[in-house]
Chain A
């Protein structure tokens, strides 16, 4: 949680996560180069520089593929939720790997250009009117630019400063970046007829990302958006102590009803930090605690305990015939709402 911004909020888990991530990237690069060297044909020698740029390029592709699989996987199966942790560092490292790939390309193909290397890269191919032969360079550079923007705006400050709707809309560009990368590879390395293994793996990876997104959309597409003031939520007994039930009000809005003993309170399901799913967290030391980064809020007013200043909206509730109902209209963030008191008869 933030009182004052710091460069990176390190903790033991993040150090471990990042160390494993870097180790995997290094291992991939080394194995790719090791396997790729003998695979080069004598009649068509593969320069070490080309091998390196392919190693970093394919590594960036796989990293981006994994990042984009995490979201829909977590929506399809809650067991994948822990994988969401620290996805931001994953993304920044992906940008670094992709940038290294671009540097190798510039250094190998455009070192002796009379123009600047970037200008030479973008002006070297001009077949915009054809599919096979389309300048893949511009696709790659555009994707790299988007990744750079997303990494540069990944600090907590940007989410707070831009606001969640603007920040999230900006970060939806990750989809455009992946489409550009798929185009970059599909019309580039994928066309190398000598490398069927990579072509197969590439197609499978990209189609997996596509399939997972469609599956997650199919699962969540049915949402009742009937305009009524009070939305039927659940029975108090359905909520385990110190846990929450998540209620969908519309495709844009979810509410988490938390139970703490006999008290029931409703808050927005979106954490003020990075929009984490609060309803999948639990009540720790009397506060609703986000499962992503541990931001905490008091359930009755949606305010972080002092000295922290984050706030989330609260919702009015009523209990009728043993069923909890939620007022569709959210209160302003930080509004105090008297909890519903209900004695739950515990089994056994």
Chain B
């Protein structure tokens, strides 16, 4: 139910953003209409982020480092990620059941 309403709100944001806001915020989008339907799924899913970015761009509060990739953050996330995988794998191996140790299947009722 919550997700349904989230998507409805996203539809409203998508309509306003794609029809009226886009061309004003990004000059490369002015007069370009064919690509806009491709943006609809993205707006539906991350519309709060879309509104936040619109406000920043509208107020002219964009940071100068908008080109810079967060390499340091990526490095940290990647290390945590790389450590999490073996933990999950080995934990799953530890609890994995041996089929040979399980009792053989028995037929409860003869086929009619």
Assess the B35–A179 pair: CB atoms within 8 A: no
A-side interface mostly? helix
* B31 on the A face (CB < 8 A): yes
B-side interface mostly? helix
Count of chain A residues with Cβ under 8 Å from any Cβ of B? 68
Residues of B contacting A3 with CB < 8 Å? 28
Q: Mark B22-64, 1 if CB is under 8 A from A, else 0.
A: 0001111111101100110110111001100100010000111
Assess the A164–B45 pair: CB atoms within 8 A: no
* A113 on the B face (CB < 8 A): no
* B82 on the A face (CB < 8 A): yes
Assess the A253–B31 pair: CB atoms within 8 A: no
Residue of B nearest to A151 (CB): B41
Assess the A152–B42 pair: CB atoms within 8 A: yes
Residues of B contacting A162 with CB < 8 Å? 49, 53
Give the segment of A14-22, A53-61, A209-217, A237-245 that binds chain B: A209-217
Chain B nearest Cβ from A39, distance in angstroms:
15
Residue of B nearest to A183 (CB): B88
Residues of B contacting A166 with CB < 8 Å? 49, 53
* B98 on the A face (CB < 8 A): yes
* A220 on the B face (CB < 8 A): yes
The one of B30, B39, B71, B93 that contacts A203, using a Cβ cutoff of 8 Å? B93
Chain A nearest Cβ from B41, distance in angstroms:
4
* B70 on the A face (CB < 8 A): yes
* A265 on the B face (CB < 8 A): no
* B112 on the A face (CB < 8 A): no
CA distance A193 to B98 in the complex (A): 6
Chain A nearest Cβ from B36, distance in angstroms:
8
* A153 on the B face (CB < 8 A): yes
Residues of A contacting B92 with CB < 8 Å? 186-187, 190-191
Assess the B67–A312 pair: CB atoms within 8 A: yes
CA distance A163 to B49 in the complex (A): 12
* B108 on the A face (CB < 8 A): no
Assess the B91–A207 pair: CB atoms within 8 A: no
Residues of A contacting B89 with CB < 8 Å? 182, 186, 203, 206-207
The one of A72, A186, A252 that contacts B70, using a Cβ cutoff of 8 Å? A252
Residues of B contacting A163 with CB < 8 Å? 53, 62-63, 66-67
* B77 on the A face (CB < 8 A): yes
Residues of chain A from 145 to 164 with CB closer than 8 A to chain B in the complex = 148-149, 151-153, 155, 157-158, 160-164
The one of B46, B67, B75, B105 that contacts A217, using a Cβ cutoff of 8 Å? B75
Q: Mark A82-94, 1 if CB is under 8 A from B, else 0.
A: 0000000000000
Give the segment of A168-176, A226-234, A337-345 that binds chain B: A168-176
Assess the A168–B105 pair: CB atoms within 8 A: no
* A222 on the B face (CB < 8 A): no
The answer to whether A275 and B69 touch (CB under 8 A), given A193-B96, A206-B85, A214-B82, is yes
CA distance A72 to B81 in the complex (A): 13
A4-B28, A163-B67, A168-B70 known; 9 new pairs, CB 8 Å cut-off, are: A4-B31, A148-B41, A162-B53, A168-B74, A178-B85, A186-B89, A187-B92, A211-B82, A253-B68
**Can you give 10 contacting A-B residue pairs, CB < 8 Å?**
A7-B38, A163-B62, A168-B74, A179-B85, A191-B97, A193-B97, A199-B96, A207-B86, A213-B81, A309-B27
Nearest first, the 6 closest Cβ-Cβ pairs linking A and B are A193-B99, A186-B92, A163-B66, A152-B42, A152-B41, A175-B81
